């Protein structure tokens, strides 16, 4: 049955429709739900700290943490701010850039012949650092004597304990030149503090006394320079005192050496090397004094024989 109004234009209307044109009102629209705004949390500020793991400070690293966590980190030893690093990138390292711009350097890589970093001194043609000579024929000869190391007025610093320039002879751990490390050691090379110390002291005392005796002969036979002989004896006495101090320090500082193979131990290498250097210098002074005494006394004896 047709009834109501047909406003759709699709044909006869069926049912009832109460629109405006039919004298009715529009149906109430379905309300659209309103979205509720959700508050976005404000991000917590980040703080840079140097995190030092407890018990493992070598693994310290720079990190960022929430501001609320800073107090807890500081409480167990962390520090605020980035971890300090040295020039080599090591955290809490001590390496610094030297005057040559080398990290951890010792100012020698750019040193001139005078040892001045970034200096301008150079050797001239005569081998003089900072010299101005340009003609090799103008080089003055050594005013004095050239030692066995080729150094003018040198002290044979390159001569080993056997008297060989740049030789390989060394003082053994008992203080004996070219020794076999047996004169002061116990069975199996185990160290005996008293015997080793006594061996070193005997070597030191024997050498310094030999220097004194030979120097006295030199003065008696040649009427040589008192100043030269006195300087040699003073140097020998100084080396003797230095050697005695080192010999006593050897076991006072390293008591753990007792009972081990002393000659192969690296624990006291620094002191032992110093002792070797002292003895080598004394050996050289003693050799110098003996040679001078032998030359002088030999000439004196020949002159006396000729007079007779």
Q: What is the pLDDT of residues 24-74, one digit of tens each?
A: 555 666 666 666 666 677 888 889 999 988 888 878 889 998 888 889 888
**Which residues of the chain carry a pLDDT beneath 50?**
1-2, 17-18, 187-189, 256, 258-261, 300-308
pLDDT for the residue 300 = 46
CB distance 237 to 205 below 8 Å: no
pLDDT for the residue 103 = 92
pLDDT for the residue 48 = 93
pLDDT for the residue 298 = 62
pTM: 0.41
pLDDT for the residue 162 = 79
Q: How many helices (H) and strands (E) does the chain have?
A: 4, 3
CB distance 7 to 21 below 8 Å: yes
What gap in Å lies between CA 38 and CA 146, rounded to an integer?
A: 95
pLDDT for the residue 177 = 80
């Amino acid at each position: 049955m047709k009834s109501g109004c047909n406003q759709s234009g699709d044909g006869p209307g069926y049912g009832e429709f109460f629109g405006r044109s039919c004298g009715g009102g529009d149906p109430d629209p379905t309300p659209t739900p309103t979205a509720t705004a959700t508050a976005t949390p404000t991000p917590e500020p980040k703080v840079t700290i140097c995190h030092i793991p407890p018990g493992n400070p070598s693994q310290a690293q720079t990190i960022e943490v929430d501001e609320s966590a800073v107090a807890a980190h500081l409480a167990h030893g962390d520090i605020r701010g980035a971890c300090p690093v040295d020039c080599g990138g090591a955290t809490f390292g001590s390496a610094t850039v030297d005057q040559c711009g080398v990290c951890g350097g010792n100012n020698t890589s750019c040193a001139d012949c005078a040892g001045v970093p970034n200096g301008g001194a150079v050797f001239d043609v005569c081998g003089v650092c900072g010299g101005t000579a340009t003609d090799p024929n103008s080089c003055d000869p050594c005013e004095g004597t050239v030692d066995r190391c080729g150094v003018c007025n040198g002290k044979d610093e390159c001569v080993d304990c056997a008297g060989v320039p740049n030789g390989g002879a060394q003082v053994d751990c008992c203080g004996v030149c070219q020794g076999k490390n047996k004169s002061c050691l116990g069975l199996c090379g185990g160290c005996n503090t008293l015997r080793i110390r006594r061996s070193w002291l005997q070597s030191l005392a024997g050498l310094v006394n030999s220097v004194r005796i030979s120097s006295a002969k030199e003065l008696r036979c040649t009427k040589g320079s008192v100043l030269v002989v006195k300087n040699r004896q003073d140097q020998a006495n100084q080396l003797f005192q230095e050697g005695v101090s080192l010999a006593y320090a050897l076991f006072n500082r390293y008591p753990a050496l007792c009972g081990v193979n002393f000659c192969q131990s690296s624990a006291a290498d620094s002191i032992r090397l110093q002792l070797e250097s002292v003895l080598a210098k004394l050996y050289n002074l003693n050799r110098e004094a003996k040679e001078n005494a032998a030359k002088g006394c030999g000439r004196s004896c020949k002159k006396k024989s000729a007079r007779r």
